[in-house]
Amino acid sequence: MNKKISLIRIASFLFAFAVLLSLNVSAAPQRTTSAKTEEKPFETYTYWQDLGASEKTMVYCKPMYKVKTVINANVLNIPSFGSINDITADNGKIYILDSTNSTVYVLEGDYSLYKKIDTVTYNGERLSFDGASGIFVKNEQIYIADTKNARILALDTNGNVTAYLTLPESKLIPDNFNYSPIRVAVDSRDYIYIVSEGSYYGALVYSPKMEFLGFYGANSVPASVGEILTEFVTKLFSTNEKRAASVRALPYQFTDFAIGPGDFIYTVTSTNESAVKGQVKKLNPGGKDVLKKSDYNFADNSAKLIKNENLNSIDVDSDGFFYALDSGVYNRIFWYDKECNLMCVFGGGTNSQTQKGTFSKADTLAINGTDIVVSDSVNKNITVFSITDYGKAVRKAQTATLNDNYSETAEEWKEIIKLDKNNQLAYRGLAKAYYSSGDYDKALEYAKLGADKETYADAFSKERTRFFEKNFTFVFLLVIFIAALVAVLIHIKRKKKIVLIKNAKLRNMLECIPHPFESFRLVKEKGLGSLPLATAVLAVYYIISAISDKASGFAFNRFDAESYNSFYVLLKTVALVLLFVSANWLVCVLMGGIGKFKEIYIVTCYSLLPIVFAQIVYLLMTHILSPDEFAFITIFKTVCILYTFFILAVGVMKVHNYEFGKFVGTTVVTVIAMIIIVFLIFMVCLLAQQVYGWIATVFTEIRYR
């Protein structure tokens, strides 16, 4: 009797601890977003990647760009801009496309007016490019995307048209293709790329001899397995009329592109959707995206900001740093390095130019050296941003880091951290610098601060190797001693027939791992199942699952206190077990099963022992092994999970006295019953919420009458 009371107390303590853990972790303080962009129209900020690299948190950062000048018609001493449709830079000069006046303005490096090209002729005939959308210049050869007239004009700086491209005659062009060029670019080999408005086929490509070669780099429509199956079933059972009337999902078209180093083409796609990812792509000569960031949002990730963002323009510099312009409500510029690490976000304005560096409607962006030039189509002006000393320092250090010149960057990153403690790139760069110099302790410290799992894992492996090399003799002798001690204890136990576990129910629970058939037979026939022990196993399963999420080795840890809620862990452990037990009991009562609810609960909880053991081993190994060495542990954990299902199957068959065939049938029905129960619980909660809302409304009406 005392033993039974003791077991009940232990189980109660474990379950109470599990509840406290759930409340403690769930109530963890939420991190506050540092950058309140809605309060100030022009703040510089960046994002910190969390440990799972799936979420990013907005934080202030020291300004990396500042406003150099704002240029309008008065500054250039011209009557007015009819419109500013596009801007581009070439050899230190800025080219402004004013299609309303069929004019191209050329600015010097100091942003003074160099010349105005308002007379464009071809074979003595004056041409108008009213309605043009894009301009590109290479070595003073100007290319204009004349959208309204469906052509590309190639001209020199004197306005003489040397060639023009219209819709080519080719079997590669679909019959319904609408040729309305909005953007044009030329690579180092003089291949011409044209984006046509409304085209879902990618960019049109022309050879240096202006021969049409085909389409390049079309976007694709992402689809899940469920969407594919749904479409298949719909087509299978739909009539011809329904198929004809169905809406087909089409890929989004490029809104802008730029030629980068190595003739890689950077494209930006505007979606105006509530869930936006993969807006920027880096296409190789074969048209394949090499960034592989289709699941990454290149703009803001706040739910409030996403619905108003619209990445519309992009440009890239000679080092692979690219800038993407949000032409939505907030008009921000996102600066990334060549590996898609966010440097900073600057500019802004909620549809009103209230101060320098903000916009009413930012439309296009161009890079001129280290300056960033942005046009505003509403205010008809151009804002020039110049890089700050801090921005230069970060750019220089990050460039060296990306080029693996770590030894040059340590002192630079230290100075950057002194200036701005919110710079995640600085912590990561410093971690790489320390790793390169062999200071693995410092590398571990800064990799952890910068949430750099890759560098942390590399430094951890090196530090562990160095520890074992230094303490090999001690470790070797310790292992030999422990192995010998275990062997001696086992020998003594067998020789003297010592029983280590005298509690029959506890011994039977542990026997279910090596001998599940016999153990569960004893649970059913001899009553050697313990409800407190089963509850203790379930509580330990929940606790070790929550601890594994929070306390695993840093290289494996995805814990984020802001988003983590151990209540969800409670649902997928304790609640899932109780749901299965309840559903199985309900089903088997109707299908000739003789198992009691208590027996089903006991064998189900006992079956969790392999998973609990695997979780403990996994947790310990995350502090010993690196991710590259973890394949065996992953296999071991998978085997334990499979063995858990095997033990559970044996237990259910034993308590219900089922053959295997009937077990399979009742299990399928049990799963269906679990789904129905979850649905009913959801409906009850929804109904309760509506009733509560109705009662609250009635109470409010009565109160104010």
Least confident of 216-225, 376-385, 536-545, 670-679: 216-225
Q: Is 162 helix (H, G, I), strand (E, B) or coil?
A: strand
Distance CA 413, CA 464 (A): 26
pLDDT at 225 over 60: no
**CA 705 – CA 698 distance, rounded (Å):** 11
- Mean pLDDT score, 221-225: 43
Q: Are strands 181-186 and 192-196 parallel, antiparallel or unpaired?
A: antiparallel
* pLDDT value, residue 500: 73
Higher pLDDT: 219 or 294? It is 294
Res. 32 pLDDT band, cuts 50 70 90: very low
Compute the distance between CA of residue 321 and CA of residue 258 in angstroms, rounded to an integer: 12
Residue 588 in contact with residue 604, Cβ under 8 Å? no
Helix (H, G, I), strand (E, B) or coil at 209: coil
Supply the pLDDT for residue 354.
Answer: 64
Residue 614's closest CA among 586, 635, 598, 636? 636
300 has pLDDT over 80 = yes
Interatomic CA distance for residues 288 and 603, integer angstroms: 53
In this predicted model, what pLDDT tens digit does every residue of 311-346 receive, in sequence order? 899 999 999 999 999 988 788 999 999 999 999 999
pLDDT digits (tens, 9 = 90+) for 116-125: 999 999 998 9
252 CB-contact burial (10 Å; exposed 0-12 / middle 13-18 / buried 19+): middle
Query: Which pLDDT does position 21 carry in this prediction?
Result: 47
pLDDT interval class at 248 (50, 70, 90): very low
> Residue 362 and residue 350: Cα distance in Å, rounded?
10
Instruction: Give the amino acid at 384.
Output: V
Place of tokens 């109707």: 590
The token duo for 583 is 């559903």
C-alpha dihedral (506, 512, 518, 524), degrees to nearest 10: 60
pLDDT for 270? 73
CA distances from 525 to 182, 522, 593, 609 (A): 80, 5, 15, 22
User: Measured between alpha carbons, how far is 236 from 667 in angstroms, rounded to an integer?
Assistant: 31
pLDDT band for position 645 (50/70/90)? Answer: very high
The secondary structure of the chain in percent helix, strand, coil, rounded to multiples of 5, reads 45, 20, 35
Instruction: State which amino acid sits at residue 616.
Output: I
In whole angstroms, give the CA distance from residue 548 to residue 380: 57
477 exposed, middle or buried (CB, 10 Å; 0-12, 13-18, 19+)?
A: exposed
- Give the H or E element holding residue 205: strand 203-206
CA atoms within 13 A on the CB side of 141: 15
pLDDT, averaged across the chain: 85
What pLDDT score does 448 carry? 93
| DSSP one-letter code for 160 | B
Residues of the chain above pLDDT 90, percent: 58
Q: Read off the pLDDT band of 173 (50, 70, 90).
A: confident
CA distances from 125 to 103, 132, 151, 570 (A): 16, 18, 16, 78
Q: Which residue has the tokens 């150099």?
A: 68
**Which region among 154-158, 242-246, 346-350, 620-624 has the lowest average model confidence (pLDDT)?**
242-246
Q: What is the pLDDT of residue 31?
A: 39
Q: Beta strands 265-269 and 254-259: pairing type?
A: antiparallel
Closest CA to 296 of 311, 316, 312, 313: 311
Q: Does the pLDDT of residue 611 top 60, yes or no?
A: yes
Q: How far, in Å, CA of 262 to CA of 188, rounded? A: 8
Q: Beta-strand (E) ranges in 279-423?
A: 280-283, 311-316, 322-326, 332-336, 342-347, 362-368, 371-376, 381-387
pLDDT at 360 over 80: yes
Helices (H), 359-501: 389-402, 410-419, 424-437, 440-449, 453-470, 472-496
Q: What is the model's pLDDT at position 43? A: 84
Please give the Cα distance from 344 to 122 (Å, whole number). 45
Determine the pLDDT at residue 350: 63
Distance (Å, whole) CA 102 – CA 362: 21
User: How confident is the model over 292-307, as a mean pLDDT?
Assistant: 74
Instruction: Give the Cα separation of 446 and 454 in Å (integer).
Output: 12
Report the run of H or E that residue 543 belongs to, with start and end.
helix 531-551
- How far apart CA 325 and CA 333 sit, in angstroms, is 5
| DSSP per residue, 507-525 | HHHHHTTT-HHHHHHHHHH
**Residue 705 banded pLDDT, cuts 50, 70, 90:** low
Domains of the chain, each with CATH number or no CATH: 2-28+501-688 (no CATH), 65-387 (2.120.10.30), 397-421+423-472 (1.25.40.10)
Confidence of residue 351 (pLDDT cuts 50, 70, 90): low
Total length of the chain: 705
Residue 57: what pLDDT? 84
Mean pLDDT of 194-210: 87
Residue percentage of the chain with pLDDT more than 70: 85
Query: Among 81, 77, 42, which Cα is nearest to 382's?
Result: 81
Rounded mean pLDDT, 475-501 = 82
Q: Is pLDDT at 97 greater than 70 in this prediction? A: yes
CB proximity list for 421: less than 8 A, separation 6 or greater: none
Contacts of 316 (CB under 8 A, 6+ apart): 258, 259, 260, 261, 266, 322, 323, 367
pLDDT of residue 29: 34
Q: Tell me, what DSSP letter sits at residue 446?
A: H
Q: Please check whether residue 644 is in contact with residue 608, taking contact to mean a CB–CB distance below 8 angstroms.
A: yes
pLDDT, greater one: 297 or 191: 191
Cα distances (angstroms) measured from residue 655 to each of 221, 354, 585 = 51, 75, 11
pLDDT digits (tens, 9 = 90+) for 100-134: 999 999 999 999 999 999 999 999 899 999 999 99
User: Could you read off the pLDDT of 228-245 as tens digits, one per residue?
Assistant: 344 444 444 455 554 444
- What's the pTM? 0.80
Nearest to 379 by CA among 348, 401, 351: 351
Contact 455, 443 (CB under 8 A): yes
**Can you give 617-673 as a three-state secondary structure string?**
HHHHHCCCCCHHHCHHHHHHHHHHHHHHHHHHHHHHHHHHCCCHHHHHHHHHHHHHH
Q: Is 569 exposed, middle or buried (CB count within 10 Å of its CB: 0-12, 13-18, 19+)?
A: buried
What pLDDT is attached to residue 242?
46
- What CA–CA distance (Å, rounded) separates 425 from 341? 8
Q: Is the dihedral of CA 446, 450, 455, 459 positive or negative?
A: positive
Where are the alpha helices (H) located in 423-471, listed in sequence order?
A: 424-437, 440-449, 453-470
Give mean pLDDT, residues 414-420.
Answer: 95
CB 334 within 8 A of CB 61: no
Higher-confidence position of 568 and 234: 568
The SS3 call for residue 437 is: helix
53: pLDDT strictly greater than 60 = no
Q: Backbone phi, then psi, for 41, in 5-degree steps?
A: -70, -20
663 neighbors 653 (Cβ within 8 angstroms): yes
